[in-house]
Every structure is written in structure tokens, then in C-alpha cells.
Structure 1
Amino acid sequence: MLRLRLQVIGCPRRALALTDTPRPNCLDCQGAGGIARDYGHPETGEYEGTDWEFCPCWTAWALPLIPLPRRLWRTPPGGYSNEPPF
């Protein structure tokens, strides 16, 4: 059963997308959507990284619906002032 939600994605451009949600009562992943497995070097046993295994209760997909406008951060003419606004 699909549990749909809206999410903002950023690849290749920011957009509003429809995605699936992991089951919150899943016994395998406890609602996280996957299980993180740490692994180490076979000889020294030192930590090398983490693999993420997706849980069967969730499929990682996103259907982009509408693109979002780009953010324009502009400095006002003359720069910012530290004077009170009154």
C-alpha cells in the first residue's frame, strides 16, 4: 500500500515531488525506510563506511510535479545598515 506525501527535491532543479513514505509500524526498519549496516576493513577491523539497504516496505521514487522558483538573494543598494528602522 502506498503512503504518498509531498517533498521538495533538488535534482537537477528544486521541485515539488510526490513520493512514497515508509510504513511507520514496520518491524524491520521502524519507519526509517532502510537499515544502515556498518562495515570495516577485513584485516584491521577499522571502520570503513556504511551501506544502506532499502526495506521492502518502501520504494524510493519521486514524481516531480512542479518546479519551484529559484531563490534570489540580493543585497539592497548601498549594502545593509545597522541603524534601527525608525
Structure 2
Amino acid sequence: MRLRLQLTGWDRRTLTLTDTPRPDCPRCGGEGGHACDYGDHEGEYAGTEWNSCTCWDETRRWTLLPLPRMPRRRRADRDPWSNEPPF
């Protein structure tokens, strides 16, 4: 198991410990899987399918620390109704 720290979440940011692909894997070359493009019945591009490699479990993660929300600082010296630029 090869672990790394990752920052996840948009509304509630969290520090997590995640598994990474094996860098010397002969099947995927350290990529974690293969991307396969496919087309529709007319031969046009319809999307990409991801086939995960067995050297990596992308669902294996542990939450270490939920990060606090940092409040935005407001500048008290600026008039919000002014038409002048802030510089």
C-alpha cells in the first residue's frame, strides 16, 4: 500500500489519506488503469471508459482531519456604496 495525503471536498474541506497505484506495475505502468475511448453507432466519439488496475483501490481512503472554515475578512475602511476603485 502506497499512501499519500490529499485535500478533498469543496464545501467541507477534509485532509484524507488515500492509496496510490503501484509505480512499478507491469499492467498499468503506474497509471492506475487504462482509459478506453468508445464511439456510438455512427462511429463518432461517445466517451471514455476507465478500467482500473488491480494494483490500486481508488475507494480506499481514510479521513484524517476535517479542516475548519476560515471566515472571510471584510475591510471596514471601504465604503460599499462608493463608485471609486479600491486602489
TM score, norm. by length of structure 2: 0.76
SS in 1 for 2:55: coil
Q: How does 1:1-86 map to 2 (within 5 A)?
A: 2-10=1-9, 13-41=12-40, 43-60=41-58, 61-77=60-76, 78=78, 81-82=86-87
For 1:58 and 1:30, the matched residues in 2 are separated by 12
Matched letter for residue 38 of structure 1: D
**Cα distance 1:71–1:47, how it changes in 2: closer, same or farther (>3 A)?**
farther
DSSP-derived class of the 1:52 partner: strand
Q: How much does 1:66 deviate?
A: 0.7
Q: Percent identity?
A: 50
User: What residue ranges of structure 1 are gaps of 5+ in the alignment?
Assistant: none
**How far does residue 11 in structure 1 lie from its aligned partner after superposition?**
6.6
Equivalent position SS for 1:24: coil
Runs of 4+, deviation exceeding 3 Å: 71-75
Greater CA radius of gyration, 1 or 2? 2
Q: 1:68 to 1:44 in 2, by over 3 A?
A: same
Q: Which secondary structure state, in structure 1, belongs to the residue aligned with residue 63 of structure 2? A: strand
| Residues 45-85 of structure 1: CA deviation (Å, up to 9, x unaligned) | 10010111111010112111110122434442317842xxx
Q: What SS is found at the alignment partner of 2:35?
A: strand
TM-score, normalization by structure 1? 0.77
Question: How large is the RMSD of aligned CA atoms in angstroms?
Answer: 2.1
